[in-house]
Amino acid sequence: MPNYRIYYSERDANIAVDMDRDTSPADRLPGIGSGGGRMDETEWEEEVEGSSPEAALESFFKEHIRDNSELMWIDERGESRPVEGLSYDPHKTYIWIENGKLMEYQGLDEGTPGKVSCPLCEGTGEVTTEVADEYVGNEGRTIEG
């Protein structure tokens, strides 16, 4: 089964999101990042197996949300829309709240088994885990394959 690398980011707008009060992402998202304050962003990538990009996204979202009521997609005007149905389009931008932070799906690539994204070229190529670990070893970090 193919491996896919799913790229997403975590945005912390330094505001509290009351998960109990709000009932849906549409209720939670207004105002996030609009306070004029600093917004921290962390980029993530995760390897997921799937028979297709759509199946890989389904597997990914099962690990990050309880159901599609917690997931929105962004249309061409930048407006958030509820996800309808059970299939996912890898070309759409999806957003959700996880641990009080705004998360954004940014895309996916089919990965080669045994390889990881190259830290030198910021993920545009693939290398073995050993080569990646050697590159980032100077900083005391390792790449997990």
The answer to whether the beta carbons of residues 41 and 11 sit under 8 Å apart is yes
Q: Which of 8-22, 60-74, 97-111 has the lowest mean pLDDT?
A: 8-22
Tell whether the model's pLDDT for residue 98 goes beyond 80. Answer: yes
Cα separation of 75 and 72, whole Å?
Answer: 10
DSSP states along 73-89: EE-TTS-EEE--SS---
Digit-coded pLDDT (tens) for 51-70: 999 999 999 999 999 999 99
Label residue 113 exposed, middle or buried (CB < 10 Å: 0-12, 13-18, 19+): exposed
C-alpha 122/C-alpha 37 separation (Å) is 27
Tell me the pTM: 0.67
